[in-house]
Amino acid sequence: MMSQLFEKIPMEGVKNIIVVASGKGGVGKSTVAANLAITMARNGYKTALVDADIYGPSIPRMFGIEDAKPDITAFGDKQMMFPIEKFGVKIMSIGFYIDRNQSLIWRGPMAANAVTQLFENTEWGDIDYMFVDFPPGTGDIQLTTIQKLNLLGAIIVTTPQEIALNDARKATSMFTNPDLKVPVLGIIENMSWFTPEQHPDEKYYIFGRGGGHKMAIEFDTMLLGQIPLVSEVGEAAEKGLSVFSQTNKQVMDSFEKIAELLHSKAEEKD
């Protein structure tokens, strides 16, 4: 099997690694990954977040730590990085090492190697849940990470409309490939409906309806949750604030329920 050809990275002390993926950009994957990590940390779990989106690292911006520089210490012949901590989450991103206006022009293997170093050369300590924010698509970074890490599973983020679902299906098929066999923990449908701030009881399904549920049935997995489209969430991310800094209880409840389901799945593994 393809997955057996790669030596696994020893992630001592890291109990559960969950990758957050999507078929296309613009579905809120990084926002979901960031706020899931924050939710787990708020619930008392030791949590980490790896920004594996080499070409468009957005996690430093979302956490308001764009100017942070991780400490680096030599351990023998190896340079080890120490993650930046915010909202109780240990964070590592290639964005800490490049200018925010600089674009990376790397071929796939070079990018995949850089991501491997984020895992291998970081002093993580004890971690209950590590979330990995994948770039969109199904390229070298995704394949290398899947093959080199022991994963609890993958979460697929999509929006309800058919064009997003088609791309999400491709991402899901990568994980279910017989050579990889990564458990798909479930689907998260983002931007499920829009509720105007002035009319909190109204729902407008501007991107369609039922797409996440339909996809969960297709791949014999579960719909972990539906997250409404709320302008405050995007504004909070732009300002480096967590979802818990805003007032929409629906969004907070959605992340809490998803985190609870993920914890149940991790306990089933044990």
Confidence (pLDDT) at 109 = 64
pLDDT of residue 3: 43
Q: Are 144 and 78 contacting, i.e. CB atoms less than 8 angstroms apart?
A: no
Say whether pLDDT at 18 is over 90.
yes
Q: 118, 15 in Cβ contact below 8 A?
A: no
C-alpha R_g of the chain: 18
Question: Residue 201: helix, strand or coil by DSSP?
Answer: coil
Quick one: which of 188, 202, 201, 200 has its CA closest to 160? 188
Give the pLDDT of residue 195.
82
10 Å CB burial of residue 39 (0-12, 13-18, 19+) is buried
- % of the chain exceeding 90 in pLDDT: 50
What are the start-end ranges of the H helices in 121-248?
140-148, 162-176, 211-218, 231-238
Those residues whose C-beta lies under 8 Å from the C-beta of residue 6, and which sit 6 or more positions away, are: 144, 147, 148
Q: Between these two residues, 210 and 91, which has the higher pLDDT value?
A: 91
Task: Write out pLDDT tens, residues 76-115.
Answer: 778 899 999 999 999 999 888 876 655 555 555 677 788 8
pLDDT band at 157 (very low <50, low <70, confident <90, very high): very high
Candidate from 9-23, 81-95, 166-180 with smallest mean pLDDT: 166-180
What 8-state DSSP symbol labels residue 195? -
Domain at 13-269: CATH code: 3.40.50.300
Cα–Cα distance between 213 and 99 in angstroms, integer? 40
- Average pLDDT on 47-53 reads 94
Rounded CA separation 152/173 (Å) = 17
Confidence of residue 137 (pLDDT cuts 50, 70, 90): confident
CA–CA distances in Å: residue 264 to residues 64, 182, 223, 229: 31, 18, 14, 26
43 or 142: which carries more pLDDT confidence? 43
pLDDT greater at residue 180 or residue 108: 180
Angle between helices 162-176 and 140-148 (to 10 degrees): 40
Is the pLDDT assigned to residue 131 strictly greater than 80? yes
DSSP states of 36-91: HHHHHHHTT--EEEEE--SSS--HHHHTT-TT----EEEETTEEEE--EEETTEEE
**Spatial distance between the Cα atoms of 127 and 87, rounded to a whole number of angstroms:** 15
Which 3 state secondary structure label does DSSP give 146?
helix
* Predicted local distance difference test score (pLDDT) of residue 243: 67
Higher pLDDT, 168 or 3: 168
What is the pTM assigned to this prediction? 0.90
